[in-house]
Amino acid sequence: MADKQAPDQVFRSGALKDPKLPRPGFPAQTQPFPGLASKMEPRPDHGEASYRGTGRLNGKRALITGGDSGIGAAAAIAFAREGADVAINYLPDEQQDADSVIAAIEAEGRKAIAIPGDITDEGFCASLVEQAVSALGGLDVLVNNAGRQQFCEDLTDLTTESFDATMKTNVYAPFWITRAALPHLENGASIIITSSVQAFSPSAILFDYAQSKAANVAFAQSLAKQLAPRGIRVNAVCPGPYWTALQVSGGQPTEKVEVHGKKEPLARPGQPVEIAPIYVLLASDEASYITGEYFGSVGGSGL
Ligand code: NAD
Ligand code: MG
């Protein structure tokens, strides 16, 4: 089951120069937002065939937004292999990708909860948390990972609707979801937010997105201070160029998708599985002195 969606590049040696890792010179491709990982060429590697767990999250219960594909899917699969039960949220159009992640979690004998719905709706965000808590029997780890990135070359072409949708998805939703989750989180809980290298090095064509990702870093830094007395940790992850549906569904112009990651010293994009270990560490009890921080995985340029 889990293998059905596995990418062709199922073998990773772990070496930086593994020749099997996909490199720029990617086929031209574009999909309507939010895009499907299963329709990408090559398919992103979420760790389906390679991530090995060692029980670092045994018994934990996690909710991951955008858990159907890309970085969220890699975190969901890794969490399950580390012993966690996992609920994923995604948009209804992404059911196909979500099904394969649910199958991968279930293949580990863990509870997998699928909760489709649009997080730009405040009421849905509250209901998402309630559904996850009730199905999982509580909540220990919240990963605010869903994101919207739509490039726009000229500010005068950026509509209020598009700006608003970016802010609702990337800034309001993490606030709404976290506020709803807080009454359920106890000492030892972990909140993770997916920011971006864009928080520190904004691209000309990602004006709204870059601002939202800078807000995500402040989210972690502020909330970590507020929640430390309760024993709840909050951290941000700041990926660089990763090979995900976000990029091929309006995140970048097609000609940039073809060379995604080429400018980095590693000269390729990261595969989602390659960032999963950061999420695992931040979710685990091993990170008990790690809060209010941000962590990059950018391909060699650093944050
Ligand atoms: P992805 O497209 O695989 O995942 C993003 C997910 O966001 C989608 O799968 C979708 O389920 C979810 N989403 C978007 N709008 C939503 C809405 N209104 N309601 C519910 N869900 C919604 O791409 P990804 O790259 O894995 O993105 C995950 C996170 O990583 C995002 O926050 C993105 O900003 C961040 N990021 C990605 C990169 C990269 O290069 N891919 C770089 C830096 C940061
Ligand atoms: Mg998706």
Over residues 271-288, the mean pLDDT reads 98
pLDDT at residue 260 tops 70: yes
For ligand 1, mutation pick of 71, 119, 142, 301 (most atoms within 8 Å of CB): 71
The answer to whether the CB of 108 falls within 8 A of the CB of 62 is: no
Q: Which pLDDT score, from 0 to 100, does residue 75 have?
A: 98
SS3 162: helix
Higher-pLDDT residue of 19 and 233 is 233
- Rounded CA gap, 82 and 116, in Å? 24
- Per-residue pLDDT tens digits for 41-55: 999 999 999 999 999
Q: Report the separation in Å between the CA atom of 229 and the middle of ligand 1, taken as the mean of its atom positions.
A: 31
Q: Which pLDDT score, from 0 to 100, does residue 9 have?
A: 47
Q: Which residues of 243-261 are buried (b: 16+ CB within 10 A; e: fewer)?
A: bbbbbbbbbbeeeebebbb
Fold assignment, 55-297: Rossmann fold (3.40.50)
For the Cβ of 196 lying below 6 angstroms from any atom of ligand 1, the answer is yes
Over residues 260-278, the mean pLDDT reads 97
For the Cβ of 192 lying below 6 angstroms from any atom of ligand 1, the answer is no
Q: Which pLDDT score, from 0 to 100, does residue 11 have?
A: 54
Question: Which of the four pLDDT bands, split at 50, 70 and 90, describes residue 16?
Answer: confident
pLDDT at residue 40 tops 50: yes
For the Cβ of 244 lying below 6 angstroms from any atom of ligand 1, the answer is yes
Question: Which of the four pLDDT bands, split at 50, 70 and 90, describes residue 1?
Answer: very low
Question: Quick one: which atom of ligand 1 is closest to the CA of 120?
Answer: 18
Describe the crossing of helices 122-136 and 173-181 by its angle, rounded to 10 degrees: 40
Closest residue by Cα to residue 220 from 232, 208, 205: 232
Q: Report the separation in Å between the CA atom of 250 and the middle of ligand 1, taken as the mean of its atom positions.
A: 12
The residue assigned the tokens 């937002």 is 33
Q: Provide the residue type at 58 as one letter.
A: N
Q: Is the peptide bond before 269 cis (omega within 30 degrees of 0)?
A: no
Closest residue by Cα to residue 282 from 270, 293, 274, 269: 293
**Is 209 an annotated catalytic residue?**
yes
Q: Which pLDDT score, from 0 to 100, does residue 137 have?
A: 98
Q: Report the separation in Å between the CA atom of 93 and the middle of ligand 2, taken as the mean of its atom positions.
A: 9
pLDDT at residue 17 tops 90: no
Can you name the residues that pair with 262 across neighbouring β-strands? none
Closest residue by Cα to residue 75 from 270, 208, 274: 274
Over residues 244-257, the mean pLDDT reads 98
Q: Give the mean pLDDT of the chain.
A: 95
The residue assigned the tokens 């790690």 is 290
Measured in whole angstroms, the distance separating CA 203 from the mean position of its chain's CA atoms is 20
- Per-residue pLDDT tens digits for 207-241: 999 999 999 999 999 999 999 999 999 999 999 99
Calculate what percentage of the chain has a pLDDT beyond 70. Answer: 96
Domain boundaries, the chain: 55-297
